[in-house]
A and B are shown apart, each in its own frame.
Chain A
Amino acid sequence: MSVQTETELDLAARVLELARASAGPAADVDVSVGRVALALTRFADSYIHQNVADTTTEVRLRIHSEGRTTSASSTLVGTDALREMVERTVAAAKVSPLDPGWPGLIGPTPVLPSHDIDEAVIEASPADRASRVRDYVEAVGELTAAGYFRTRYWTTAYANSAGQAVSGSCTEAALDAIAKTASLSDGVARQASRRIADIDGAVHGVRAAAKARAWDGAVEIEPGTYEVVLEPTAVADVLYCLGNFGFNGKLVNEHQSFLEFGSTQMDPSVTLVDDGVSAFAAGLPFDSEGTPRTRLLLVENGVSRAAAYDRRAAAAAGIAGNGYAGLDSAAHGMSPHNIRLEPSAGPAPVEVEGPASNSSVQALVAQVERGLLVTDHFYTRCLDPRRVVMTGLTRNGTWLIENGEIVRPVKNMRFTQSYSEAFGPGNVLAIGDHAIALPYNYGPNSATAPGLRLAAWKFTGGASG
């Protein structure tokens, strides 16, 4: 695969050379190249209804000249098309408005080596993907199956006029699916991994079906504040939202984030890291500005330590960028890509009877005197970024817990809850001892989460009335 990686780097170098020749030696120029081969087999009503694949290479060029910055990107990588893009970008740079916040380019800086890619992901055929779907569909039995199985392979390269030139790659296989009963109760199974062999359609089908059956006959309960056990699938949503609104360096700069570095803002049991380079989820070793990514400690034993920055936001904060530039990060900010809540120590989990996804989550349920087991969140949106107040709904299975036992399935409810406060000192009662990586819809992103027991979650209404 080194040949493919060199090809992306060669392409970046070729565009860099063209742009420098056109823009002049005084210009700052950088080029990033990303190639992604995506294949996604989607199923509903227990058959494959959408089955897609594409391979796209995108070249992005930035030029900063005489105080003005412009950028362009294209999926057209033929020589003529690239030359046209360069000329257009150079011309645009001359008439673009002044950009006093330009942070400059990174110089030669090594990056960590890419983790091992999985050749089986790269070579997976449509029949291979359909086979895993078939395993899932057969495992849910008489229930209806819906979801997807996908494989993705990224290769990326970056080169700039300051001498940085790096490349990397990663692979991902993921399954995200539900099983639904005739009475429309459903259950979910979800997992991402760098390796296709880690995703067992049959195991996930059995798990989703068990949840769906256990959720059958759900009843309404009164809204209010409940202790909760969140499955990893729900915890992932909390981590994404904390990442987007809390650990977003641009929002930190603008005082729109709750973060105060060095302060104990979360429970001492909470350690959050962003780790795409050593974790088992897919991640790339540098960002679109060529800044290396490493394991970033966001929260250490409850103490806020860091946020995600691109070079522009980092310069505004007076610190070094830490690898979170994206194509739109200057405008929309940046957030962790592979956020992980560190699990507590414990044995490897095993499958269990009933709605809990495994013995790790079951152990959390056993600790609860009265509360709710929540499988998943849906459509969470921010009401106040400063406190990360989110509203959303439960999904794919919720149950009432009494005296450590699941006593009945509960219909979906709407919540309106500050996520940062839910993680506050004293509010995290227990963290599960097994974390799993969960897929994200866009980019080489994921969240790795264990189950979580929280003291209070504010449910503000029923979803059905």
Chain B
Amino acid sequence: MTHFDAADAAIEGALAAGATYADARVMHRRFESMSARNGDVENLTQRETAGIGVRALVGGCWGFFGVPDLADAAARQAGVRAAEIAAASATVPNRRAGREALIPAQPEVGSWASECLIDPLSVPLSDKGDLLTSATAEMRKQGADIATGSYDIWDTRKWFASSEGSRIDQHVRECGGAISSTVIGDGETQVRSYPSRRGQFGTRGWELVEETDLAAHAARIADEARALTRAPQCPAGERTVIIGGEQMALQIHESVGHAIELDRILGWEAAYAGTSWLDLSQLGSLKYGSELMNIVIDPTYPGALGSFGWDDEGTRAAPRDAVRNGIWTGVLAGRESAAVAGLDYAGSVRSDGWARLPMVRMTNVGLEPGPHTLEEMIAATEDGIYMDMNRSWSIDDRRLNFQFGCEVAYEIKHGKLGRMLKNPTYTGIGPRFWSSMDMLSSETVAWGTPNCGKGQPGQTGHTGHPAAPARFTNVRVGVRG
């Protein structure tokens, strides 16, 4: 029995139980994670999970059931259970009954695999352990009180089928790693990380971790963490701020990516993740930011963490503008949310496992490169602050008011970087902030965010964010408790 056979059995079970549409996703995932601390391995986790998740539509309402058993009978029964749950949903129906549940789509048949030069699960554990223990030992030697390093690897295979005739299989390999130095000061902790606190992740093989070259940066970040304890506080007030690429990735994620999720805009996340300040009536006309702001949703971006061939309801990956020349032009949508909103495109529905319902998620949401370089932006700044590397993040339930903390900042005086500053924070209101972006670098990196939480039950999404350093004016900095 193939995995497609299991998916077909689940669909047949759902249809026989009264569903008018059903899809099923068999998923097999292997996960490996190792962490080291102060020169020793601290934790090694290897996880394997496989099962089938079935989505069924009955009376215009949805049900989902997941089971970790790919036998024909279990899969078929999962389909029946999904239909039964959908029938229960129909007892508290949508007031807008009568609409089409899904936008139309042609059946998709195909295969896709992410590019992978070195299978990360084939690299010996001892080699991976040596990488982390040597880097953390070096940071410790250089004065870090706590030196940590880690990597994570996901190897995911999916087989999707639908009652409309789609049959898609995909193989996605993702990995990434990071090191971090913490210094305990007098009533404070200071941290420096490389390449970011959680790491740089992509839909790539172990070559990504090798390119990152953690060991080469160990001594530097330990020195910088120690130096931060002696540095002056980031001043409070309004400043011109240059934000580094890693922090820009999270700025995009939080204040654009989540805001353009169509399920949030429709209120489907109102009780938990929140809604959005965006109103669909303004799609195509709302000014989101300055003319330098061009945001693209692109799940085809090679090697980025949010890349795939098809999303988890069988829509083929395709790039789409979200913001063009500062004007809001597109959303992250699925076939169901698009039907409700009256839009004609989908492609951004994903699930973090066989046991979870696919929902609207970010793919790769990134900023197109600008005309400048970081060096040029610093040189053009008379009085400002350069800050980078996310340390904390918080944003309101409409994705409007944000406050970020970074690991490190530097004064900019007369076009040159000056003193190091500690505890930098900045806060703002999304469209006002983006409208103040007056310089944007061309030095784009597709940063990966492997820990995007959303949904009930909770799901962890993997998203990509091509981003480059950018300059903003009149930004409130230095908020402290």
Contact = CB atoms under 8 A, between A and B. Distances in A.
Interface in B255-306: 266-272, 274
A463 B45 CA distance: 40
A44 interface: yes
A460 B400 CA distance: 15
Given A328-B45, A384-B189, A393-B397, A48 B68 contact: no
| Most B-side CB within 10 Å, residue of A75, A88, A137, A417 | A75
A254 interface: yes
A85 B479 CA distance: 50
Interface stretch (B5-13, B92-100, B158-166, B435-443): B92-100
B267 A44 contact: yes
Nearest to A330: B43
Interface in A399-441: 412, 414, 416-418, 441
A233 to B, nearest CB: 12
B271 A177 contact: yes
Interface residues of A, number: 97
| Most A-side CB within 10 Å, residue of B47, B51, B86, B89 | B89
Nearest to A254: B146
Interface stretch (B15-23, B123-131, B206-214): B123-131
B429 interface: yes
B113 interface: no
A386 B266 CA distance: 39
B392 interface: yes
B268 A44 contact: yes
B371 interface: no
Interface in A61-104: 69-77, 85, 88-89, 92, 95-101
A38 interface: yes
| Most B-side CB within 10 Å, residue of A47, A130, A256, A458 | A47
Contacts of A55: 67-68
Interface in B24-67: 33, 35-36, 40-51, 53, 61-67
Contacts of B274: 378
A147 interface: yes
B244 to A, nearest CB: 18
A3 interface: no
Contact of A57 (B68, B146, B400, B479): B68
Interface stretch (B352-360, B409-417, B465-473): B352-360
A349 interface: no
B392 A45 contact: no
Contacts of B348: none
Contact of B68 (A69, A72, A76): A76
B47 A52 contact: no
A372 interface: no
Nearest to B270: A146
A130 B91 contact: yes
Interface stretch (A20-28, A121-129, A267-275, A289-297): A121-129
B401 A463 contact: yes
Nearest to B425: A383
A148 interface: yes
A57 B359 CA distance: 24
Nearest to A395: B397
Interface stretch (B102-110, B169-177, B180-188, B312-320): B180-188
A236 to B, nearest CB: 14
A51 B481 contact: no
B321 interface: no
B124 A137 contact: no
Contacts of A416: 403, 479-481
Contacts of A182: none
A49 interface: yes
A38 B457 contact: yes
A178 B271 contact: yes
A254 B144 CA distance: 12
A69 B91 CA distance: 52
A113 to B, nearest CB: 28
B45 A54 contact: no
Given A52-B357, A381-B394, A393-B397, A465 B429 contact: yes
B461 interface: no
Given A47-B92, A99-B40, A386-B187, A391 B63 contact: no
Interface string B368-397: 000000000000000000000001111111
Interface string A295-324: 000000000000000000000000000000
B92 A385 contact: no
A89 B49 CA distance: 15
B63 A51 contact: yes
Contacts of A48: 61, 88-93
Nearest to B146: A254
| Most A-side CB within 10 Å, residue of B84, B269, B396, B476 | B396
Contact of A178 (B62, B270, B405): B270
B81 interface: yes
Contacts of A330: 35, 42-43
Contact of B125 (A97, A100, A177, A412): A97
Nearest to A71: B45
A157 interface: no
A39 B197 CA distance: 34
B456 interface: yes
Contact of B271 (A137, A147, A387): A147
Interface string B120-144: 0000111001100100000000000
B150 interface: yes
Given A129-B88, A389-B481, A50 B62 contact: yes
Contact of B66 (A50, A54, A144, A386): A54
A43 interface: yes
Given A71-B44, A74-B47, A96-B125, A379 B395 contact: yes
A327 interface: yes
B408 interface: no
B458 A442 contact: yes
Interface string A125-157: 111011101100100000010111010000000
B420 interface: no
Contacts of B196: none
A410 to B, nearest CB: 14
Contacts of B327: none
A75 B126 contact: no
Interface string A431-464: 0000000000110000000000000001011111
A68 to B, nearest CB: 9
A380 B393 CA distance: 8
A144 B95 CA distance: 11
B64 A51 contact: yes
B427 interface: yes
Contacts of A1: none
Name the 10 nearest CB pairs between A and B, nearest first.
A97-B129, A126-B88, A54-B66, A416-B481, A330-B43, A48-B89, A146-B271, A54-B355, A97-B41, A147-B271
24 contacts: A43-B92, A44-B271, A45-B266, A48-B89, A48-B91, A50-B456, A53-B65, A56-B51, A56-B68, A73-B46, A77-B68, A95-B126, A97-B36, A126-B89, A127-B88, A130-B91, A146-B267, A147-B271, A177-B271, A188-B271, A328-B43, A382-B392, A384-B423, A461-B479
Interface of A: 38, 40-58, 69-77, 85, 88-89, 92, 95-101, 125-127, 129-131, 133-134, 137, 144, 146-148, 150, 176-178, 180, 186, 188, 254-256, 327-328, 330-331, 378-387, 389-393, 395, 412, 414, 416-418, 441-442, 458, 460-465
Given A40-B457, A55-B67, A130-B89, 17 more contacts: A42-B456, A43-B92, A47-B61, A58-B49, A71-B43, A88-B46, A96-B125, A101-B42, A144-B270, A148-B456, A331-B35, A379-B396, A383-B391, A384-B189, A393-B396, A416-B403, A460-B403
